[in-house]
Amino acid sequence: MNKSDITILVADDDPDYLFQTVFNLEKAGYRTIAVESQAEAESVIARSKPDLAIFDLMMESDDSGFILCYKIKRKYPEVPVILATAVSHETGLSFSIDSDQEKSWIRADRYLEKGIRPEQLDQEIMKLLRF
Amino acid sequence: MAVLKVLVIDDEPGIRSGVSRILNNFHVTYPFMDEDYTFEVTEAATGEDGIKVLERDMPDILLLDNKLPGIQGVEVLEYIRKRNYDIVVAMITSYASLDVAVRATRNGAIDFIPKPFTPQELKSSIENITKQQYLKRITHRMNQEGKKVRYQFLSVLSHELKAPLNALEGYLRMMQDKQSGELIDDYATPIERSLQRIHGMRSLIMDLLDFTKIRLERKEEKIQEVNLAELASEAIVTVQPFAIQMDVNITLDVRTDVTIFADPDDIEIVFNNLISNAVKYNKIGGKAEITIDCSDSEAILIISDTGIGITKNDTENLFAEFVRIKNEKTRNISGSGLGLSIVKKVVELYHGTIKVDSTPDVGTVFTIRLPKKPITTI
């Protein structure tokens, strides 16, 4: 599989974070679809199937990312999902998807803190896509 | 109608059935309660049975005899206290020795009902207990809600403060790693965006200062007679440089020269926010108009613009904290999402009202009404 055949859906309501993520992903060789809201992400999911998705947690609502995880997994259970957020450091609210119990309600395959370095993100993606 | 569960633990069947009979037809009402309270009584003859019932039913009120065949009433009380159960306990006892009274009180019994009691005596004790229980619950609920609101505010705030830092960090890393090329010109977008985010963060910090000011300050000594037209002109001067950039023409129409009693800083916050919004969300070459007028009892401020407008849906949340309307037209406009929530708080502080009328792509009109008479309770 070639990286240029991989399409990644990125949803984030912070235009700068979106710009940077898309920039890094494209630099790494992936194709991207960038959207700025949960609503846009839902309409992308409705009409096409990305190979991987990266969702911000807080967009229109505080749990937009969780909702998107749930919706994409219901439609395409095999598509890996990364939940990217800065929320845990900010709020003291911590969650991970390491235990089975957490996996059962957070339907993401990886949970990453924002501010992750581009190479690290690329590695996580390659692991999820089994390169 | 709310039901309070009452458990009677007493080895005398006459007492138990008496309590049941009296309370099953009793209800408590107070003017400040939302609803009437009625009672549902269960009975137990021993402390041991009582604890079983208590674990199963979790009553709100416990009427407890001290002299019981097995474990004593005071021991049941200790059992409840150790587990921190939210049960109000009144001791029913024919004679309370000082020792028992002290032990019972120390373990949380709030009332003593002497045996034998008349129906009226029981009722008035229950009435007191119900009132206490009600107040305790209301206080608890209000504390919880207060905590929740503060927590939400802080968590959103820290998100809003951290997001621009993340963006800046990302852009600086792009430059550090020379990801877009060797030349400084290759980074025009990251630099421009970084400056915008810094600008946004600064205005958030300024708004936060306003926000804490109106929340924390005691105002009485700062209230004075203020002239609305004067304050509006000052605010226009402040916003003017930005208006020139946007080519927006600001006009002030003083139909009636009105003074009100207020802290001039507060009114300045209102004008600054609304007038700068009228410019910020305008179109190039648009207009912003401030009208000052009054009715018999109120000063009326109207701030209208010919800007991008707000949809009906979006106006619903417009005054909430950290709400920013996100769409194609606003994506390049920075703001903290606090301005209008601050304006609304100030207006309400003066017992005034604010209302918004808007048509997308035509413009927005904010109308504020403030009482002319001095407000005594700020």
- Residue pLDDT, tens place only, B212-268: 776 666 556 678 889 999 999 999 998 888 898 889 999 999 999 999 988 888 898
The ipTM assigned to this model is: 0.71
The alpha carbon of residue B179 is apart from the nearest alpha carbon of chain A, in Å, by 8
Contacts with A118 from chain B: Cβ below 8 Å: 179
Confidence of residue B21 (pLDDT cuts 50, 70, 90): very high
Q: Which residue did the predictor score with more confidence, A65 or B147?
A: A65
The rounded percent of chain A whose pLDDT value lies above 90 is 51
Among A63-72, A93-102, B185-194, name the one with the lowest average pLDDT: A93-102
User: Which of these ranges, A59-63, A78-82, B57-61, B199-203, has the smallest mean pLDDT?
Assistant: A59-63
Domain ranges of chain A: 3-129
| B interface test, pick of A10, A20, A26, A64 with most B CB neighbours within 10 Å | A20
Which residue in chain A is spatially nearest to B196 when comparing CA positions?
A: A16
Do the chains contact at B170 and A115, CB–CB below 8 Å? yes
Q: Collect all residues from B whose CB is shorter than 8 A from any CB in A.
A: 154-155, 158-159, 162-163, 166-167, 169-171, 173-174, 179-180, 189, 193, 197, 326, 331
Confidence tier at A31 by pLDDT (50, 70, 90): very high
**Residue B149: predicted pLDDT:** 67
- The listed range with the strongest mean pLDDT (B126-135, B340-349, B357-366) is B357-366
Please state the pTM of the whole predicted model: 0.55
* 8 Å CB contact of A19 and B189: yes
B7 has pLDDT over 50:
yes
Q: Tokens 């999820």, residue? A: A128
Most confident of B38-47, B217-226, B366-375: B38-47
**Rounded mean pLDDT of B143-169?**
76
Q: Per-residue pLDDT averaged across B184-209, rounded?
A: 88
% of residues, chain B, pLDDT over 90: 37
Domains in chain B, start-ordered, CATH in brackets? 2-144 (3.40.50.2300), 221-378 (3.30.565.10)
Question: Given an 8 Å threshold on Cβ–Cβ distance, is A90 in contact with B158?
Answer: yes
Q: Please report which helix (H) or strand (E) contains residue B28, including its range.
A: strand B27-28
State mean pLDDT over A83-101.
Answer: 56
DSSP B173-205: HHHHTT-S-SSGGGGHHHHHHHHHHHHHHHHHH
* DSSP states along B43-90: EESSHHHHHHHHHHH--SEEEEES--SSS-HHHHHHHHHHTT---EEE
Question: Scanning every residue of chain A, which has its alpha carbon at the shortest distance from the alpha carbon of B333?
Answer: A15
Nearest CA in chain A to B174: A20
| Domain A3-129, CATH number (from 3.30.465.10, 3.40.50.2300, 3.30.360.10, 3.20.20.140) | 3.40.50.2300
- Please count the residue pairs, one from chain A and one from chain B, whose beta carbons lie less than 8 angstroms apart: 53
